[in-house]
């Protein structure tokens, strides 16, 4: 049942505008559903193809969540129909940001007639704060990146480069001066080198750090996917460096509206999983953004084979149809692992796979949505980072003994099939890895407690009401 709004309170109208990546769009939609559940209106803004690809809404929320479709602007070097990061290779994402910036005018046009109370926006929208302010709409920087990452990245002046707090990649491999407690949370050298482009201007004219700095500087409130009980010290860091209201959005676990027609895809997967012993299958998936190199795929494949454990691997062989670099499995691998291993190169229902009792562990890139889904399903984590915030997420999980990272070369991030096999067996089978299996179960309540999540949403809505009165 939807929560009743008290008669004297007019429902709020909240606009949501996430970055064009499914790892961003889905948590925004989850929060949108929780807000609509309380009887408020949500306008969810994206481009046509992205809206078509979002999960279906539960019928009782559909009247309150309106999808606002803004045509995708055409820009050079962006393939036809590319509307999300999943559609393009990593080097083309800068052109996607270019197209995204061109949505400023149509979005402003929509906002003028929307009668919106507030807009929730992502890290890329450096131009949005002033637009909202001019229209009298409160802006909320809603970060799907976790509190440790936002805290670690530092004040707006450092992000925008006006304060030379960090000038070289090595500066990101140590805890910064504004973090006043002992922590291992920092990027490893190979992790920051993989994403060194976030530090510099790209085709769009602005670095990711600059964009984030502007978003934080110009917003009225900082809202972060996370939970104050799980990482209180990082919320405090953010509060200290930004001197603005900082609210937790909760972990926003994925909720799936169950359609009556189970897809054929899931049936064959379920049939295979049903044949495996309970807790023996390692599930392998690296999200919609990360794409391993050919060398990495080879080592992962051989590592899975050497682990002697059954595996279910969702492998994206290319990023978008224009990606020329198509990944291949080692010769003979599929024949040798027939029966005890599955490699799926198309979409797979991650929540259903992870919910299956035969799955006993998850080899993951440490993207936070995947981490939350694993904890929802009590699956211990083997970590293999590739991009973005994944290194910082991995440090947090290592510190809390919730995940174990595959050992790698510090300079280039290379790893061997033996280290993959040993890491999987440690976390899933061996006595030494029991702590990871137990800690994941213990943390579940912090991540999927509906009462706490509900309280966070109530606090957020009360805060938004207070903002409107000032």
Q: pLDDT tens digit string along 231-279?
A: 999 999 999 999 999 999 999 988 875 544 456 788 889 999 999 999 9
d(CA 187, CA 193): 9
- Domain 13-256 sits in CATH at 3.40.50.2000
- Going by C-alpha positions, the residue among 148, 190, 97 that lies closest to residue 413 is 190
Q: What's the pLDDT tens digit per position in 172-200?
A: 999 999 999 999 999 999 999 988 776 66
Query: Are the CB atoms for 190 and 413 separated by under 8 Å?
Result: yes
Q: Which residues make beta-bridge pairs with 351?
A: none
Q: Where do we find the tokens 């949500």?
A: 42
How many distinct helices (H) and strands (E) make up the chain?
A: 19, 13
Q: Taking the CB of residue 305, how many other CB atoms lie within 10 A of it?
A: 19
Q: Give percent of the chain with pLDDT exceeding 90.
A: 75
Q: What are the domain boundaries of the chain?
A: 13-256, 264-447
CA–CA separation, 137 vs 264, rounded Å? 45
Q: How far apart are CA 467 and CA 266, in angstroms?
A: 46
Q: Which of 220-234, 319-333, 369-383 has the lowest mean pLDDT?
A: 319-333
Q: What's the pLDDT score for residue 261?
A: 45
Q: Find out if CATH 3.40.50.2000 is the number for domain 264-447.
A: yes
Say if residue 285's pLDDT is above 70: yes
CA 464, CA 372: separation in Å to the nearest integer?
Answer: 26
Q: Give the pLDDT confidence of 21-78 residue by residue, as tens digits.
A: 999 999 999 999 999 999 999 999 999 999 999 989 999 999 999 999 999 999 998 9
CA dist list (Å): 14 to 45, 76, 246, 372 = 11, 33, 18, 25
If one compares 202 and 266, the residue with the highest pLDDT of the two is 266
Higher per-residue confidence, 287 vs 164: 287
pLDDT in tens, 300-352: 999 999 999 999 999 988 776 777 788 888 999 989 999 899 999 888 889 99
* Confidence class for position 202, pLDDT limits 50, 70, 90: low
pLDDT of residue 169: 86
- Whether the Cβ atoms of residue 382 and residue 361 lie closer than 8 Å to each other: yes
**Mean of all residue pLDDT scores within the chain:** 91
> How many whole angstroms separate alpha carbon 146 and alpha carbon 226?
6
Sheet arrangement for strand 221-225: 65-69, 41-46, 13-17, 118-121, 138-143, 221-225, 246-250
Same fold, 13-256 and 264-447: yes
Mean pLDDT check: name the lowest of 31-40, 109-118, 285-294.
285-294
- What whole-number distance in Å separates Cα of residue 57 and Cα of residue 44? 12
Predicted local confidence at residue 432, as pLDDT: 95
SS3 at position 336: helix
Tokens of 69: 């479709």
Rounded CA separation 391/405 (Å): 10
> 3-state secondary structure string, 405-419?
ECCCCCCCCCCCHHH
pLDDT at res. 1? 45
Span 115-143, average pLDDT:
96
pLDDT digits (tens, 9 = 90+) for 135-162: 999 999 999 999 999 999 999 999 988 7
Give the DSSP letter of residue 226: B
How confident is residue 374, by pLDDT bands cut at 50, 70 and 90?
very high
Please tell me what DSSP assigns to residue 15: E
Residue 6 pLDDT class (50, 70, 90 cuts): low
pLDDT on residue 129: 94
Q: Residue 284 in 3-state DSSP?
A: strand
Per-residue pLDDT tens for 392-449? Answer: 999 999 999 999 999 999 999 999 999 999 999 999 999 999 999 999 999 999 899 9
**Partners of 138 in the β-ladder:** 118
User: Which H or E element spans position 41?
Assistant: strand 41-46
pLDDT value for 232: 95
Q: Output the pLDDT for position 201.
A: 66
């Amino acid at each position: 049942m939807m929560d009743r709004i008290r008669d004297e309170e007019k429902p709020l109208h909240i606009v949501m505008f996430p970055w064009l990546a499914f790892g961003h769009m889905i948590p925004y939609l989850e929060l949108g559903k929780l807000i609509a559940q309380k009887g408020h209106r949500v306008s969810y803004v994206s481009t046509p193809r992205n809206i078509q690809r979002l999960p279906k809404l539960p019928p009782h929320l559909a009247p309150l969540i309106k999808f606002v479709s803004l045509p995708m602007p055409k820009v050079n070097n962006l393939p036809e129909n590319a509307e999300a990061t999943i559609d393009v290779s990593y080097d083309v994402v800068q052109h996607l940001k270019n197209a995204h910036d061109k949505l400023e005018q149509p979005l402003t046009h929509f906002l003028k007639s929307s009668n919106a109370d507030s807009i929730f926006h992502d890290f890329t929208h450096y131009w949005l704060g002033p637009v909202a302010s001019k229209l009298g709409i409160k802006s909320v920087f809603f970060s799907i990146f976790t509190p440790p990452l936002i805290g670690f990245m530092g004040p707006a002046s450092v992000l925008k480069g006006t304060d030379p707090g960090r000038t070289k990649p090595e500066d990101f491999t140590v805890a910064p001066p504004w973090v006043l407690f002992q922590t291992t949370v920092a990027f490893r050298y190979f992790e920051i080198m993989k994403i060194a482009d976030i530090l510099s201007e790209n085709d769009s004219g602005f670095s990711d750090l600059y964009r984030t700095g502007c978003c934080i500087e110009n917003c009225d409130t900082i809202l972060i996917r996370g939970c104050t009980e799980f990482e209180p010290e990082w919320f405090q860091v953010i509060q200290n460096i930004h001197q603005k209201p900082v609210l937790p959005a909760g972990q926003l676990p994925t909720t799936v509206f169950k359609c009556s027609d189970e897809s054929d895809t899931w049936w064959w997967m379920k049939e295979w999983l049903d044949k495996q012993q309970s807790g023996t299958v390692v599930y392998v998936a690296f999200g919609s953004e990360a794409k391993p190199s050919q060398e990495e795929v080879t080592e992962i494949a051989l590592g899975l084979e050497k682990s002697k454990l059954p595996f279910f691997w969702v492998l994206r062989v290319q990023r978008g149809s224009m990606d020329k670099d198509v990944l291949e499995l080692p010769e003979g691998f599929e024949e040798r692992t027939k029966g005890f291993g599955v490699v799926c190169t198309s979409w797979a229902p991650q929540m259903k796979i992870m919910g299956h009792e035969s799955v006993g562990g998850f080899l993951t890139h440490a993207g936070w949505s995947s981490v939350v889904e694993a904890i929802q399903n009590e699956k211990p984590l083997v970590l293999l980072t590739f991009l973005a915030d994944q290194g910082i997420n991995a440090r947090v999980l290592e510190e809390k003994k919730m995940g174990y990272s595959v050992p790698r070369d510090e300079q280039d991030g290379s790893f061997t099939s033996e280290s993959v096999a040993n890491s999987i067996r440690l976390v899933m089978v061996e006595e030494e890895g029991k702590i990871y299996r137990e800690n994941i179960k213990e943390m579940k309540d912090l991540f999927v407690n509906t009462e706490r999540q509900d309280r966070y949403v109530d606090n957020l809505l009360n805060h938004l009401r207070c903002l409107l009165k000032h």
